[in-house]
A and B are shown apart, each in its own frame.
Chain A
Amino acid sequence: MSETPATARSRMAAHAAGAGTVLAGVVLVEALIRAGVINGFVVPLPSAILAAFPRVIVEENVLHRFWQTTQEVMWAALLLAVFGVGLGALLYRYRLLRRACETWVAALAAAPIVLMYPLFLVIFGRSATTIVAIGFAAGLSAVILKTVEGLAGTRRVLLDVGRSFRLTPAQQFRMILLPSALPSIFVGLRLGLIFAMINIVGVEFLINFGGLGQLINDLAERYDLPATYAAIFFVVLVSVVFFVVTERLERWAQRSA
Protein backbone atom coordinates (compact mmCIF):
# COMPACT_ATOMS: atom_id res chain seq x y z
CA MET A 1 0.00 0.00 0.00
CA SER A 2 1.60 3.29 -1.07
CA GLU A 3 1.71 6.17 1.40
CA THR A 4 -0.10 9.38 0.51
CA PRO A 5 1.50 12.77 1.42
CA ALA A 6 -1.20 13.26 4.07
CA THR A 7 -0.39 9.89 5.67
CA ALA A 8 3.34 10.69 5.58
CA ARG A 9 2.71 14.05 7.28
CA SER A 10 0.56 12.39 9.92
CA ARG A 11 3.27 9.76 10.55
CA MET A 12 5.95 12.45 10.91
CA ALA A 13 3.71 14.39 13.28
CA ALA A 14 3.21 11.26 15.41
CA HIS A 15 6.99 10.68 15.58
CA ALA A 16 7.59 14.34 16.49
CA ALA A 17 4.88 14.19 19.18
CA GLY A 18 6.44 11.00 20.60
CA ALA A 19 9.95 12.50 20.76
CA GLY A 20 8.55 15.75 22.18
CA THR A 21 6.72 13.86 24.94
CA VAL A 22 9.90 12.01 25.98
CA LEU A 23 11.87 15.29 25.97
CA ALA A 24 9.19 17.03 28.03
CA GLY A 25 9.21 14.13 30.53
CA VAL A 26 13.00 14.35 30.88
CA VAL A 27 12.87 18.13 31.40
CA LEU A 28 10.09 17.68 33.99
CA VAL A 29 12.07 15.05 35.96
CA GLU A 30 15.16 17.33 35.87
CA ALA A 31 13.09 20.22 37.21
CA LEU A 32 11.44 18.10 39.94
CA ILE A 33 14.82 16.76 41.15
CA ARG A 34 16.34 20.25 41.19
CA ALA A 35 13.31 21.52 43.08
CA GLY A 36 13.79 18.74 45.65
CA VAL A 37 10.42 17.07 44.90
CA ILE A 38 12.21 13.87 43.80
CA ASN A 39 15.14 12.67 45.91
CA GLY A 40 18.34 13.12 43.88
CA PHE A 41 20.01 10.24 45.75
CA VAL A 42 17.41 7.81 44.41
CA VAL A 43 16.88 9.22 40.92
CA PRO A 44 19.89 10.92 39.34
CA LEU A 45 19.53 14.09 37.28
CA PRO A 46 18.84 13.35 33.60
CA SER A 47 21.66 15.80 32.80
CA ALA A 48 24.01 13.72 34.98
CA ILE A 49 22.90 10.54 33.18
CA LEU A 50 23.62 12.24 29.85
CA ALA A 51 27.07 13.28 31.15
CA ALA A 52 27.76 9.66 32.20
CA PHE A 53 27.39 8.31 28.67
CA PRO A 54 30.97 9.00 27.45
CA ARG A 55 32.33 7.40 30.65
CA VAL A 56 30.12 4.31 30.26
CA ILE A 57 31.08 3.97 26.61
CA VAL A 58 34.85 4.49 27.04
CA GLU A 59 35.62 3.11 30.53
CA GLU A 60 32.93 0.41 30.89
CA ASN A 61 33.20 -0.92 27.37
CA VAL A 62 29.41 -0.71 27.02
CA LEU A 63 29.34 -1.31 23.26
CA HIS A 64 31.00 -4.70 23.70
CA ARG A 65 28.53 -5.56 26.48
CA PHE A 66 25.64 -4.28 24.35
CA TRP A 67 26.75 -6.66 21.60
CA GLN A 68 27.04 -9.55 24.11
CA THR A 69 23.48 -9.04 25.37
CA THR A 70 22.22 -8.50 21.81
CA GLN A 71 23.79 -11.80 20.76
CA GLU A 72 22.16 -13.64 23.67
CA VAL A 73 18.77 -12.13 22.84
CA MET A 74 19.34 -13.00 19.18
CA TRP A 75 19.99 -16.65 20.00
CA ALA A 76 16.97 -16.78 22.29
CA ALA A 77 14.85 -15.15 19.54
CA LEU A 78 16.04 -17.68 17.00
CA LEU A 79 15.27 -20.60 19.33
CA LEU A 80 11.88 -19.08 20.14
CA ALA A 81 11.02 -18.71 16.47
CA VAL A 82 12.08 -22.25 15.59
CA PHE A 83 10.84 -24.18 18.63
CA GLY A 84 8.02 -21.88 19.75
CA VAL A 85 6.36 -21.68 16.33
CA GLY A 86 7.16 -25.35 15.64
CA LEU A 87 5.65 -26.56 18.92
CA GLY A 88 2.67 -24.26 18.43
CA ALA A 89 2.08 -25.79 14.99
CA LEU A 90 2.34 -29.30 16.50
CA LEU A 91 -0.17 -28.46 19.21
CA TYR A 92 -2.52 -27.08 16.56
CA ARG A 93 -2.10 -30.13 14.34
CA TYR A 94 -2.62 -32.76 17.05
CA ARG A 95 -5.75 -31.91 19.01
CA LEU A 96 -5.09 -34.53 21.71
CA LEU A 97 -1.61 -33.13 22.33
CA ARG A 98 -3.08 -29.63 22.51
CA ARG A 99 -5.74 -30.64 25.00
CA ALA A 100 -3.13 -32.44 27.07
CA CYS A 101 -0.54 -29.63 27.08
CA GLU A 102 -2.19 -26.25 26.56
CA THR A 103 -2.98 -25.65 30.24
CA TRP A 104 0.56 -26.57 31.25
CA VAL A 105 2.01 -24.26 28.63
CA ALA A 106 -0.23 -21.44 29.89
CA ALA A 107 0.87 -22.19 33.46
CA LEU A 108 4.50 -21.99 32.34
CA ALA A 109 3.85 -18.43 31.13
CA ALA A 110 3.08 -17.37 34.71
CA ALA A 111 5.96 -19.30 36.32
CA PRO A 112 8.91 -17.24 37.66
CA ILE A 113 11.45 -19.17 35.58
CA VAL A 114 14.29 -16.84 36.53
CA LEU A 115 14.23 -18.37 40.04
CA MET A 116 15.33 -21.67 38.50
CA TYR A 117 18.69 -20.19 37.52
CA PRO A 118 20.66 -22.41 39.95
CA LEU A 119 19.31 -25.47 38.13
CA PHE A 120 20.32 -24.01 34.78
CA LEU A 121 23.76 -23.20 36.24
CA VAL A 122 24.17 -26.83 37.23
CA ILE A 123 23.13 -28.01 33.77
CA PHE A 124 24.95 -25.48 31.56
CA GLY A 125 27.55 -23.95 33.88
CA ARG A 126 28.20 -20.22 34.40
CA SER A 127 28.05 -19.39 30.71
CA ALA A 128 26.11 -17.55 28.00
CA THR A 129 24.31 -20.85 27.29
CA THR A 130 22.63 -20.68 30.71
CA ILE A 131 21.53 -17.11 30.03
CA VAL A 132 20.15 -17.96 26.57
CA ALA A 133 18.43 -21.10 27.90
CA ILE A 134 16.63 -19.17 30.65
CA GLY A 135 15.63 -16.44 28.20
CA PHE A 136 14.31 -19.08 25.80
CA ALA A 137 12.37 -20.92 28.52
CA ALA A 138 10.84 -17.67 29.74
CA GLY A 139 9.58 -16.63 26.30
CA LEU A 140 8.55 -20.04 24.98
CA SER A 141 4.98 -20.29 26.26
CA ALA A 142 3.94 -16.91 24.81
CA VAL A 143 5.15 -17.91 21.35
CA ILE A 144 3.51 -21.35 21.53
CA LEU A 145 0.16 -20.01 22.76
CA LYS A 146 -0.05 -17.17 20.22
CA THR A 147 0.97 -19.54 17.40
CA VAL A 148 -1.80 -21.99 18.35
CA GLU A 149 -4.25 -19.08 18.65
CA GLY A 150 -3.30 -17.71 15.23
CA LEU A 151 -3.50 -21.07 13.46
CA ALA A 152 -6.75 -22.06 15.16
CA GLY A 153 -8.21 -18.65 14.33
CA THR A 154 -7.80 -19.14 10.57
CA ARG A 155 -11.22 -18.66 9.02
CA ARG A 156 -12.82 -21.94 7.99
CA VAL A 157 -13.77 -20.56 4.59
CA LEU A 158 -10.11 -19.86 3.72
CA LEU A 159 -9.27 -23.50 4.46
CA ASP A 160 -12.22 -24.53 2.28
CA VAL A 161 -10.84 -22.34 -0.53
CA GLY A 162 -7.54 -24.21 -0.15
CA ARG A 163 -9.33 -27.55 -0.26
CA SER A 164 -11.32 -26.49 -3.32
CA PHE A 165 -8.01 -25.72 -5.07
CA ARG A 166 -6.79 -29.16 -3.93
CA LEU A 167 -3.83 -27.94 -1.88
CA THR A 168 -1.65 -30.57 -0.23
CA PRO A 169 -1.46 -30.36 3.59
CA ALA A 170 1.98 -28.73 3.25
CA GLN A 171 0.65 -26.13 0.77
CA GLN A 172 -2.39 -25.55 2.98
CA PHE A 173 -0.03 -24.78 5.89
CA ARG A 174 2.42 -22.64 3.91
CA MET A 175 -0.06 -20.73 1.73
CA ILE A 176 -3.07 -20.32 4.00
CA LEU A 177 -2.61 -21.26 7.67
CA LEU A 178 0.77 -19.62 8.17
CA PRO A 179 0.04 -16.27 6.44
CA SER A 180 -3.31 -16.08 8.19
CA ALA A 181 -1.66 -16.74 11.59
CA LEU A 182 1.32 -14.43 11.00
CA PRO A 183 -0.02 -11.37 12.87
CA SER A 184 -0.74 -13.51 15.95
CA ILE A 185 2.60 -15.35 15.67
CA PHE A 186 4.48 -12.05 15.59
CA VAL A 187 2.56 -10.80 18.63
CA GLY A 188 3.72 -14.00 20.35
CA LEU A 189 7.30 -13.48 19.21
CA ARG A 190 7.33 -9.90 20.52
CA LEU A 191 5.86 -10.99 23.86
CA GLY A 192 8.30 -13.90 24.03
CA LEU A 193 11.19 -11.55 23.29
CA ILE A 194 10.11 -9.20 26.08
CA PHE A 195 10.08 -12.10 28.59
CA ALA A 196 13.36 -13.45 27.18
CA MET A 197 15.11 -10.09 27.38
CA ILE A 198 13.96 -9.34 30.94
CA ASN A 199 15.26 -12.75 32.00
CA ILE A 200 18.51 -12.50 30.04
CA VAL A 201 19.46 -9.15 31.59
CA GLY A 202 18.18 -10.38 34.97
CA VAL A 203 20.32 -13.52 34.90
CA GLU A 204 23.38 -11.57 33.70
CA PHE A 205 22.79 -9.40 36.76
CA LEU A 206 22.26 -12.37 39.10
CA ILE A 207 25.21 -14.54 38.02
CA ASN A 208 27.40 -11.52 37.31
CA PHE A 209 28.27 -12.79 33.86
CA GLY A 210 28.05 -11.38 30.36
CA GLY A 211 26.76 -8.10 29.01
CA LEU A 212 24.60 -5.24 30.19
CA GLY A 213 23.10 -7.03 33.22
CA GLN A 214 26.54 -7.58 34.70
CA LEU A 215 27.50 -3.96 33.99
CA ILE A 216 24.35 -2.69 35.72
CA ASN A 217 25.18 -4.93 38.69
CA ASP A 218 28.75 -3.53 38.87
CA LEU A 219 27.64 0.09 38.54
CA ALA A 220 24.83 -0.31 41.08
CA GLU A 221 27.21 -1.87 43.60
CA ARG A 222 29.51 1.12 43.10
CA TYR A 223 26.43 3.30 43.65
CA ASP A 224 27.20 5.06 40.37
CA LEU A 225 23.55 5.85 39.66
CA PRO A 226 23.99 8.13 36.60
CA ALA A 227 26.12 5.44 34.89
CA THR A 228 23.62 2.71 35.98
CA TYR A 229 20.80 4.60 34.28
CA ALA A 230 22.99 5.19 31.21
CA ALA A 231 23.59 1.40 31.05
CA ILE A 232 19.83 0.78 31.42
CA PHE A 233 19.37 3.04 28.38
CA PHE A 234 21.40 0.49 26.37
CA VAL A 235 19.08 -2.31 27.57
CA VAL A 236 16.17 -0.25 26.23
CA LEU A 237 18.14 0.14 22.99
CA VAL A 238 18.42 -3.68 22.65
CA SER A 239 14.65 -3.86 23.04
CA VAL A 240 14.10 -1.15 20.41
CA VAL A 241 16.44 -2.91 17.97
CA PHE A 242 14.54 -6.18 18.32
CA PHE A 243 11.16 -4.50 18.00
CA VAL A 244 12.22 -2.76 14.80
CA VAL A 245 13.67 -6.00 13.42
CA THR A 246 10.53 -8.05 14.21
CA GLU A 247 8.34 -5.35 12.68
CA ARG A 248 10.39 -5.40 9.45
CA LEU A 249 10.40 -9.21 9.47
CA GLU A 250 6.63 -9.28 9.84
CA ARG A 251 6.16 -6.93 6.88
CA TRP A 252 8.55 -8.99 4.80
CA ALA A 253 6.83 -12.24 5.78
CA GLN A 254 3.40 -10.78 4.92
CA ARG A 255 4.67 -9.65 1.53
CA SER A 256 6.26 -13.02 0.79
CA ALA A 257 3.17 -15.04 1.83
Chain B
Amino acid sequence: MQPSVTVAAPAPASAAATPLLDVERVSKRFVTPEGPFTAIDDVSFTVAPGEFVSVIGPSGCGKSTLFNIIGGLVGDYEGRVRVAGTGITGTHAGIGMVFQEESTFPWRTVLENVAFPLELAGMQKEERLARARHFVSLVGLSGFERRHPAELSGGMRQRVSIARTLASEPAILLMDEPFAALDEQTRVILGDKVLQIQQQLKQTTLLITHNLTEAVQLSDRVLVMTYRPGRLKRIVDIELPHPRDSDVVGSERFGRYVAEIWHDLREEATRGLEADEAQARAAGPRS
Protein backbone atom coordinates (compact mmCIF):
# COMPACT_ATOMS: atom_id res chain seq x y z
CA MET B 1 0.00 0.00 0.00
CA GLN B 2 1.34 3.42 -0.93
CA PRO B 3 1.55 5.99 1.87
CA SER B 4 -0.90 8.80 1.60
CA VAL B 5 0.92 12.00 0.74
CA THR B 6 -0.70 15.40 0.78
CA VAL B 7 1.02 18.15 -1.17
CA ALA B 8 -0.07 21.35 0.48
CA ALA B 9 2.55 24.03 0.11
CA PRO B 10 2.39 26.99 0.13
CA ALA B 11 -1.30 27.06 1.14
CA PRO B 12 -1.97 26.63 4.89
CA ALA B 13 -2.28 23.00 5.91
CA SER B 14 -5.59 22.72 7.65
CA ALA B 15 -5.43 20.06 10.35
CA ALA B 16 -8.91 20.54 11.78
CA ALA B 17 -11.73 23.05 11.92
CA THR B 18 -10.47 24.59 15.17
CA PRO B 19 -6.69 24.30 15.28
CA LEU B 20 -4.91 24.74 18.58
CA LEU B 21 -1.87 26.25 16.90
CA ASP B 22 -2.22 28.38 13.80
CA VAL B 23 0.91 29.65 12.07
CA GLU B 24 -0.16 32.04 9.34
CA ARG B 25 2.14 33.38 6.62
CA VAL B 26 5.11 33.76 8.92
CA SER B 27 8.31 35.22 7.46
CA LYS B 28 11.47 36.29 9.22
CA ARG B 29 14.26 38.39 7.75
CA PHE B 30 17.60 39.10 9.41
CA VAL B 31 20.04 41.88 8.67
CA THR B 32 23.62 40.59 8.73
CA PRO B 33 26.96 42.26 7.88
CA GLU B 34 26.78 40.36 4.55
CA GLY B 35 23.36 41.88 3.85
CA PRO B 36 19.73 40.99 4.60
CA PHE B 37 18.60 37.40 4.32
CA THR B 38 15.29 35.64 4.68
CA ALA B 39 15.42 32.79 7.17
CA ILE B 40 11.83 31.63 6.69
CA ASP B 41 9.38 32.74 4.07
CA ASP B 42 5.59 32.64 4.13
CA VAL B 43 5.20 29.54 6.28
CA SER B 44 1.64 28.54 7.18
CA PHE B 45 0.30 25.46 8.91
CA THR B 46 -2.01 24.44 11.73
CA VAL B 47 -1.85 21.84 14.46
CA ALA B 48 -5.05 20.26 15.79
CA PRO B 49 -5.61 19.40 19.48
CA GLY B 50 -3.87 16.13 20.38
CA GLU B 51 -1.97 16.03 17.10
CA PHE B 52 1.77 15.26 16.76
CA VAL B 53 3.33 17.27 13.97
CA SER B 54 6.99 17.32 12.95
CA VAL B 55 8.80 19.97 10.96
CA ILE B 56 11.74 18.50 9.08
CA GLY B 57 14.31 20.22 6.90
CA PRO B 58 18.02 20.40 6.13
CA SER B 59 20.43 22.33 8.37
CA GLY B 60 20.05 26.07 7.84
CA CYS B 61 16.43 25.93 6.67
CA GLY B 62 15.19 28.07 9.55
CA LYS B 63 13.67 25.31 11.70
CA SER B 64 15.08 26.75 14.92
CA THR B 65 13.99 30.27 13.91
CA LEU B 66 10.47 28.89 13.45
CA PHE B 67 10.73 27.20 16.89
CA ASN B 68 11.80 30.50 18.48
CA ILE B 69 9.05 32.47 16.73
CA ILE B 70 6.29 30.06 17.83
CA GLY B 71 7.77 29.93 21.33
CA GLY B 72 7.83 33.73 21.46
CA LEU B 73 11.60 34.04 21.90
CA VAL B 74 12.03 35.87 18.58
CA GLY B 75 9.91 38.85 17.68
CA ASP B 76 9.79 41.27 14.78
CA TYR B 77 8.50 38.79 12.18
CA GLU B 78 5.80 39.00 9.56
CA GLY B 79 2.62 36.96 9.81
CA ARG B 80 0.69 35.69 12.79
CA VAL B 81 0.87 32.92 15.37
CA ARG B 82 -2.35 32.02 17.18
CA VAL B 83 -2.94 29.69 20.10
CA ALA B 84 -6.56 28.54 20.39
CA GLY B 85 -7.61 31.39 18.13
CA THR B 86 -5.82 34.13 20.09
CA GLY B 87 -2.92 35.93 18.45
CA ILE B 88 0.25 35.83 20.56
CA THR B 89 3.21 38.14 20.89
CA GLY B 90 6.08 36.95 23.03
CA THR B 91 6.05 33.84 25.17
CA HIS B 92 2.71 32.22 25.96
CA ALA B 93 1.63 30.14 28.96
CA GLY B 94 0.01 27.65 26.58
CA ILE B 95 3.30 26.78 24.88
CA GLY B 96 5.90 24.66 26.69
CA MET B 97 9.35 24.53 25.13
CA VAL B 98 11.98 21.77 25.16
CA PHE B 99 15.32 22.90 23.81
CA GLN B 100 17.91 21.10 21.71
CA GLU B 101 20.71 22.02 24.09
CA GLU B 102 20.81 20.40 27.52
CA SER B 103 18.78 22.79 29.65
CA THR B 104 18.29 21.32 33.13
CA PHE B 105 19.29 23.55 36.04
CA PRO B 106 22.51 21.96 37.37
CA TRP B 107 22.00 23.37 40.88
CA ARG B 108 18.61 21.66 41.29
CA THR B 109 17.87 17.98 41.78
CA VAL B 110 15.73 16.11 39.25
CA LEU B 111 12.64 16.62 41.42
CA GLU B 112 13.38 20.32 41.97
CA ASN B 113 13.95 20.82 38.23
CA VAL B 114 10.60 19.26 37.40
CA ALA B 115 8.88 21.20 40.19
CA PHE B 116 10.24 24.52 38.83
CA PRO B 117 7.13 25.62 36.88
CA LEU B 118 4.90 24.55 39.78
CA GLU B 119 6.98 26.70 42.12
CA LEU B 120 6.44 29.62 39.74
CA ALA B 121 2.73 28.93 39.81
CA GLY B 122 2.84 29.39 43.60
CA MET B 123 1.92 25.79 44.43
CA GLN B 124 2.58 24.67 48.04
CA LYS B 125 5.80 22.70 48.50
CA GLU B 126 4.23 19.33 49.36
CA GLU B 127 1.72 19.50 46.59
CA ARG B 128 4.24 20.57 43.97
CA LEU B 129 6.72 17.86 44.93
CA ALA B 130 3.99 15.22 44.72
CA ARG B 131 2.95 16.56 41.33
CA ALA B 132 6.58 16.71 40.17
CA ARG B 133 7.04 13.07 41.25
CA HIS B 134 4.16 12.12 38.93
CA PHE B 135 5.91 13.72 35.94
CA VAL B 136 9.28 12.23 36.91
CA SER B 137 7.67 8.80 36.88
CA LEU B 138 5.93 9.60 33.58
CA VAL B 139 9.32 10.02 31.88
CA GLY B 140 10.60 6.86 33.58
CA LEU B 141 12.99 8.47 36.06
CA SER B 142 11.51 7.23 39.34
CA GLY B 143 14.32 6.57 41.81
CA PHE B 144 16.43 9.44 40.43
CA GLU B 145 14.47 12.25 42.08
CA ARG B 146 17.28 13.31 44.40
CA ARG B 147 20.05 13.12 41.81
CA HIS B 148 21.57 16.21 40.25
CA PRO B 149 21.76 16.50 36.44
CA ALA B 150 25.55 16.01 36.54
CA GLU B 151 24.89 12.46 37.80
CA LEU B 152 22.64 11.57 34.83
CA SER B 153 23.25 10.60 31.21
CA GLY B 154 22.40 12.96 28.33
CA GLY B 155 19.19 11.05 27.56
CA MET B 156 18.07 11.17 31.20
CA ARG B 157 18.72 14.92 31.37
CA GLN B 158 16.60 15.48 28.28
CA ARG B 159 13.83 13.46 29.91
CA VAL B 160 14.09 15.77 32.95
CA SER B 161 13.69 18.77 30.61
CA ILE B 162 10.64 17.16 29.00
CA ALA B 163 9.13 16.35 32.42
CA ARG B 164 9.76 19.94 33.58
CA THR B 165 7.95 21.31 30.53
CA LEU B 166 5.09 18.80 30.88
CA ALA B 167 4.71 19.78 34.54
CA SER B 168 3.63 23.26 33.41
CA GLU B 169 0.79 21.46 31.58
CA PRO B 170 1.16 23.39 28.34
CA ALA B 171 -1.54 23.21 25.68
CA ILE B 172 1.20 22.74 23.09
CA LEU B 173 4.51 20.97 23.62
CA LEU B 174 7.11 22.55 21.35
CA MET B 175 10.37 20.61 20.99
CA ASP B 176 13.48 21.62 19.07
CA GLU B 177 15.52 18.51 18.19
CA PRO B 178 15.48 17.31 21.80
CA PHE B 179 17.39 14.11 21.00
CA ALA B 180 19.90 15.59 18.55
CA ALA B 181 22.85 15.06 20.87
CA LEU B 182 21.98 11.40 21.62
CA ASP B 183 23.04 8.19 19.91
CA GLU B 184 20.63 6.55 17.48
CA GLN B 185 19.46 3.73 19.78
CA THR B 186 18.78 6.06 22.70
CA ARG B 187 17.01 8.41 20.32
CA VAL B 188 14.64 5.67 19.07
CA ILE B 189 13.90 4.42 22.60
CA LEU B 190 13.29 7.95 23.91
CA GLY B 191 11.10 8.57 20.88
CA ASP B 192 8.99 5.63 22.07
CA LYS B 193 8.75 7.20 25.51
CA VAL B 194 7.72 10.59 24.12
CA LEU B 195 5.09 8.98 21.91
CA GLN B 196 3.75 6.95 24.82
CA ILE B 197 3.46 10.10 26.96
CA GLN B 198 1.94 12.08 24.09
CA GLN B 199 -0.71 9.40 23.56
CA GLN B 200 -1.37 9.07 27.30
CA LEU B 201 -1.80 12.83 27.82
CA LYS B 202 -3.23 13.49 24.35
CA GLN B 203 -0.60 16.21 24.27
CA THR B 204 -0.56 18.47 21.21
CA THR B 205 3.06 18.40 20.08
CA LEU B 206 5.15 20.19 17.49
CA LEU B 207 8.59 18.67 16.98
CA ILE B 208 11.37 20.38 15.06
CA THR B 209 13.84 17.80 13.79
CA HIS B 210 16.26 16.93 11.03
CA ASN B 211 15.94 13.21 11.70
CA LEU B 212 13.74 11.38 9.23
CA THR B 213 13.22 8.22 11.30
CA GLU B 214 12.24 10.26 14.32
CA ALA B 215 9.78 12.37 12.33
CA VAL B 216 8.01 9.36 10.78
CA GLN B 217 8.09 7.28 13.99
CA LEU B 218 6.42 9.97 16.08
CA SER B 219 4.22 12.08 13.86
CA ASP B 220 0.70 12.26 12.54
CA ARG B 221 1.95 14.73 9.94
CA VAL B 222 5.40 15.72 8.72
CA LEU B 223 6.01 19.18 7.28
CA VAL B 224 9.01 19.23 4.93
CA MET B 225 10.86 22.54 4.60
CA THR B 226 13.07 23.84 1.82
CA TYR B 227 16.65 25.00 2.26
CA ARG B 228 17.12 28.75 2.76
CA PRO B 229 14.79 30.57 2.68
CA GLY B 230 12.74 28.05 4.65
CA ARG B 231 9.40 27.47 2.97
CA LEU B 232 6.91 24.63 3.38
CA LYS B 233 7.63 22.25 0.56
CA ARG B 234 5.30 19.39 1.35
CA ILE B 235 3.05 18.02 4.04
CA VAL B 236 2.97 14.28 4.51
CA ASP B 237 0.21 12.56 6.49
CA ILE B 238 1.64 9.57 8.34
CA GLU B 239 -1.06 6.95 8.46
CA LEU B 240 0.72 4.37 10.55
CA PRO B 241 -1.48 2.68 13.16
CA HIS B 242 -1.78 3.91 16.78
CA PRO B 243 -0.71 3.05 19.46
CA ARG B 244 2.69 3.09 17.82
CA ASP B 245 6.14 2.17 19.11
CA SER B 246 9.66 1.78 17.75
CA ASP B 247 8.78 -1.63 16.23
CA VAL B 248 7.11 0.34 13.46
CA VAL B 249 10.57 1.38 12.27
CA GLY B 250 11.04 -2.04 10.66
CA SER B 251 7.74 -2.06 8.76
CA GLU B 252 7.49 -1.71 4.99
CA ARG B 253 5.09 1.24 5.21
CA PHE B 254 7.50 3.07 7.47
CA GLY B 255 10.25 2.55 4.92
CA ARG B 256 8.05 3.94 2.16
CA TYR B 257 7.28 7.07 4.17
CA VAL B 258 10.96 7.58 4.89
CA ALA B 259 11.84 7.13 1.20
CA GLU B 260 9.07 9.52 0.16
CA ILE B 261 10.22 12.27 2.52
CA TRP B 262 13.89 11.64 1.80
CA HIS B 263 13.21 12.19 -1.90
CA ASP B 264 12.20 15.80 -1.12
CA LEU B 265 14.70 16.30 1.63
CA ARG B 266 17.71 15.09 -0.39
CA GLU B 267 17.11 17.79 -2.98
CA GLU B 268 17.10 20.46 -0.24
CA ALA B 269 20.03 19.01 1.69
CA THR B 270 22.09 18.91 -1.54
CA ARG B 271 21.19 22.53 -2.22
CA GLY B 272 22.29 23.39 1.32
CA LEU B 273 25.62 21.62 0.93
CA GLU B 274 26.29 23.33 -2.40
CA ALA B 275 25.44 26.73 -0.91
CA ASP B 276 27.82 26.09 2.03
CA GLU B 277 30.61 25.08 -0.35
CA ALA B 278 30.04 28.17 -2.52
CA GLN B 279 30.14 30.37 0.58
CA ALA B 280 33.39 28.75 1.78
CA ARG B 281 34.92 29.22 -1.68
CA ALA B 282 33.86 32.88 -1.79
CA ALA B 283 35.35 33.49 1.65
CA GLY B 284 38.73 32.25 0.33
CA PRO B 285 41.53 30.59 2.30
CA ARG B 286 42.39 31.84 5.77
CA SER B 287 45.57 33.85 5.85
Contact = CB atoms under 8 A, between A and B. Distances in A.
Interface of A: 1, 155, 157-158, 160-161, 163-167, 171, 175-176, 179-180, 182, 254, 257
Given A171-B120, A257-B108, A163 B103 contact: no
Contacts of A171: 120
A180 B107 contact: yes
B168 interface: yes
Contact of A166 (B93, B102, B103, B105): B93
Most buried by A among B107, B147, B148: B107
Given A157-B103, A158-B103, A257-B108, A164 B151 contact: no
B116 A158 contact: no
Contact of B101 (A157, A166, A257): A157
Contacts of A176: 105
A1 B151 contact: yes
Contacts of B117: 165
B62 interface: no
B107 A163 contact: no
A82 B102 CA distance: 32
B71 A164 contact: yes
Contacts of B101: 155, 157
Interface string B107-148: 110000000110010000000000000000000000000011
Closest 6 CB pairs of A and B: A164-B97, A157-B101, A179-B107, A157-B103, A257-B107, A161-B103
A166 B91 contact: yes
Contacts of A175: 116
Given A1-B147, A164-B96, A166-B93, 18 more contacts: A1-B148, A1-B151, A157-B101, A158-B105, A160-B99, A160-B103, A161-B99, A161-B103, A164-B97, A165-B117, A165-B120, A166-B91, A171-B120, A175-B116, A176-B105, A180-B106, A257-B107, A257-B108
B73 A254 contact: no
Contact of A157 (B93, B95, B99, B147): B99
B286 to A, nearest CB: 27
Given A1-B148, A171-B120, A164 B105 contact: no
Contacts of B105: 158, 161, 176, 179-180
Contacts, number: 49
Nearest to A180: B107
Contacts of A165: 91, 116-117, 120, 168
Nearest to A171: B120
A57 to B, nearest CB: 43
15 contacts: A1-B148, A155-B103, A157-B101, A157-B102, A158-B103, A158-B105, A160-B97, A161-B99, A163-B91, A164-B91, A165-B117, A166-B91, A166-B93, A171-B120, A180-B105
Contacts of A160: 73, 97, 99, 103
B: interface residue count bin: 20 to 34
Contacts of B106: 180
Contacts of B72: 163-164
B71 A167 contact: no
A164 B173 CA distance: 12
Contacts of B91: 163-166
A157 B151 CA distance: 20
A1 to B, nearest CB: 7
A167 to B, nearest CB: 7
Contacts of A254: 107
Nearest to A178: B107
A166 B105 CA distance: 16
Contact of A182 (B93, B95, B97, B107): B107
Given A157-B101, A180-B107, A164 B116 contact: no
A187 to B, nearest CB: 15
A164 B168 CA distance: 11
Contacts of B71: 164
Given A1-B151, A257-B108, A163 B73 contact: yes
A176 B103 CA distance: 11
